[in-house]
Amino acid sequence: MRRITRFDPAPFRSQVAGEITGFDPLERLDGKLAKRLDRFSSLAVVAAEDALRDAALMRVEEPEEFGVSIGSALGGAALAEDQHQRYLVGGIGAVRPVLAISVFGAAAACNVAQHCALHGPTLGNTNSCASGVTAIGEACLLMQQGRARRMLAGGVEAPLAPLTFGAFDLLRAMSAKWNAAPARASRPFDRARDGFVMAEGAAIFVLERAEDAVRRGAHVYGSIAGFGLSNDAFHMSAPREDGSDSARSMLTALADAGMTPQEVECVSAHGSGTPPGDAAEARALERVLGERLPRVPVVATKGCHGHALGATGALEVAIALLALERGEVPPSVNADDPDEPVAVAAAARSMRIENVLKNTAGFGGLNAALVLRREA
- Dump pLDDT digits (tens) for 144-158: 999 999 999 999 999
pTM (two decimals)? 0.97
Of 115, 116, 129, 140, which is the active-site residue?
129
Mind listing the pLDDT tens digit for each residue in 199-247?
A: 999 999 999 999 999 999 999 999 999 999 999 999 999 999 999 999 9
39-54 and 107-116 helices, crossing angle to 10°: 40
Identify the structural domains of the chain with CATH numbers, from first to last. 2-215 (3.40.47.10), 222-374 (3.40.47.10)
- The pLDDT score that the predictor gives to residue 224 is 98
- Is residue 129 annotated as part of the catalytic site, yes or no? yes
Contact 125, 313 (CB under 8 A): no
Is 58 a residue whose pLDDT tops 90? no
**Dist. CA 103–CA 98, nearest whole Å:** 9
84 as an active site residue: the answer is no
Element (H, E) at 310: none
Q: Assess whether pLDDT exceeds 70 at residue 41.
A: yes
Question: Are 122 and 64 a contacting pair, CB within 8 Å?
Answer: no
Which residues on adjacent β-strands are paired with residue 190? 338
Among this protein's residues, is 270 annotated catalytic?
A: yes
> Is residue 125 very low, low, confident or very high in pLDDT (cuts 50, 70, 90)?
very high
> What pLDDT shows up at residue 376?
67
Q: What is the mean pLDDT of residues 162-179?
A: 97
Task: Tally Cβ neighbours within 10 Å of residue 56.
Answer: 12
- pLDDT of 59 higher than 90: no
Q: Per-residue pLDDT for 374 more than 80?
A: yes
| Nearest C-alpha neighbor of 368 from the set 200, 256, 273 | 256
Q: Residues 116, 140, 266, 270: which is the catalytic one?
A: 270
- Average pLDDT of the chain to the nearest whole number: 96
The secondary structure element, H or E, covering residue 88 is: helix 77-90
% of the chain with per-residue pLDDT over 70? 100
Q: To which H or E segment does residue 366 belong?
A: strand 366-374
